[in-house]
Amino acid sequence: MTLSQRKSSPDAIRQNFDQQVERFSNLETGQTTAIDSPLCMELIARSAALFNPNAERIMDLGCGGGNYAVKVTSILPEVDCTLIDLSANMLVVAEERVAANISGKVLAIQGDYRDIPFEVNSYDIITAGTTLHHLREDQEWESVFTKVYQALKHGGTFWINDIVLGETPEIDRMMLDGWLSMLWKQITPEEIDMYMERYESEDTPRTLNYQLNLMKRVGFSDTIILHKHFNFAAFGAKKEK
């Protein structure tokens, strides 16, 4: 049995997220179970604007309720924005929120970004907030990172905030325990059980080093670490000019 066969299908994940629009549409809290989510959104938005102050087109992969696109466009409003998500319910909210921010056009695409073709050399900024951990085998990771690299203009940037594995089993356990210690202060034991069950059934994260090395392998010239706390990290990469 392959990794994809052991984990939840994209359709099962879509049905789950269809019911969680409000949870993924709040800039004050970000994704509530993601460590330092508001801070990471702020760091990514400001970094994107710093590297690409004259951005014209941006794309948000697995956009959910649009938090990352909303945060970026609050600083860079004169852009066109492409939103991609499995959930139609999420896209409706994301499109409305981003449209209120920008002078350009919003293109909302429902579907799996693993399968959707991207325009080549077309985007200044691409974001992926707590979504890439749904990628499965190594070839999926390489395919998506390659597509992102090819979709960016020269000088464009790719920004990620996501759960990451520890570099060894011992470190991974320590980081996971740190995450759980924070969740215990925020949500009920029943909710923790639910999220851990989803983590086991839906998520296949990789280490931070794996993703930074993959960025270099597909062609990015520079990688940037913005923040890491327990098993969550915000980081990015720049395509050469």
Q: Given this model, what pLDDT does residue 32 score?
A: 79
Q: Given this model, what pLDDT does residue 38 score?
A: 95
The tokens for 230 are: 């327990």
Tally of domains in the chain: 1
Please tell me the total number of residues recorded for the chain in this structure: 241
Q: Given this model, what pLDDT does residue 152 score?
A: 98
Per the structure, the complete domain to which residue 191 belongs is given by 3-238
Q: Given this model, what pLDDT does residue 29 score?
A: 73
Taking the C-alpha atoms of residue 157 and residue 134, their distance in angstroms, rounded to an integer, is 21
Per-residue pLDDT tens digits of the chain, which is 241 residues long: 455 555 666 665 555 555 565 666 667 677 778 999 999 999 999 999 999 999 999 999 999 999 999 999 999 999 999 999 999 999 999 999 999 999 999 999 999 999 999 999 999 999 999 999 999 999 999 999 999 999 999 999 999 999 999 999 999 999 999 999 999 988 899 999 988 998 999 899 999 999 999 999 999 999 999 999 999 999 999 999 9
pLDDT tens, position by position, 11-69:
655 555 555 656 666 676 777 789 999 999 999 999 999 999 999 999 999 999 999 99
Contacts of 32 (CB under 8 A, 6+ apart): 23, 186, 187
Contacts of 159 (CB under 8 A, 6+ apart): 44, 47, 48, 68, 125, 126, 127, 128, 234, 235, 236
Check which CATH number belongs to the domain holding 87 and give it.
Answer: 3.40.50.150
